[in-house]
Amino acid sequence: MKTREDIDSYLLKMGVAHEELQDDVWRIHLDGIENLMVSLAGPIVVFRLKIMDVPKAQREALFETLLRLNTTELVHCAFGMEGNAIVLAGALEAENMDFNEFRAVIDDIELAATKYYEALSKFRTVA
């Protein structure tokens, strides 16, 4: 079983800025991405990045876009909803997780967040 020390060592090995917010919860700072959260939740390592709030208009078009991206573009993560937010999320079993898998999830989330930012920003509601 991987421990918080393993996750700390993976983050150091990647050379990414990060902070431990509380036991078993880290915030990773990537280029232009400030709130990628990683948590060790029992036997699972969970990765989560809030992309945007669910808009009031064009919801069906947004959801169709996200589903299409999930099936054609994403490998280690997926778009989903958490409360009233659109998130990119991924998970790995802590028992077998190695550095390459850990990095692959973070890289996939970073790539998706930057690559699809423009396409998804047209769905953002202006307050």
Residue range 68-91, pLDDT digits in tens = 999 999 999 999 999 999 999 999
Could you give phi then psi for residue 59, rounded to 5 degrees?
-60, -45
- In 3D space, the residue among 47, 57, 40, 127 whose CA is nearest the CA of residue 87 turns out to be 47
Residue 79 CA, chain-centre distance (Å), reads: 9
| pTM for the structure as a whole | 0.92
For the cut 90, the answer to whether the pLDDT of residue 32 exceeds it is: no
In tens, the pLDDT along 104-119 reads 999 999 999 999 988 8
For the cut 80, the answer to whether the pLDDT of residue 126 exceeds it is: no
Tokens of 123: 């769905």
**Class in CATH terms, 4-121:** alpha beta
For the cut 60, the answer to whether the pLDDT of residue 127 exceeds it is: no
Question: What pLDDT is attached to residue 2?
Answer: 85
Domain ranges of the chain: 4-121
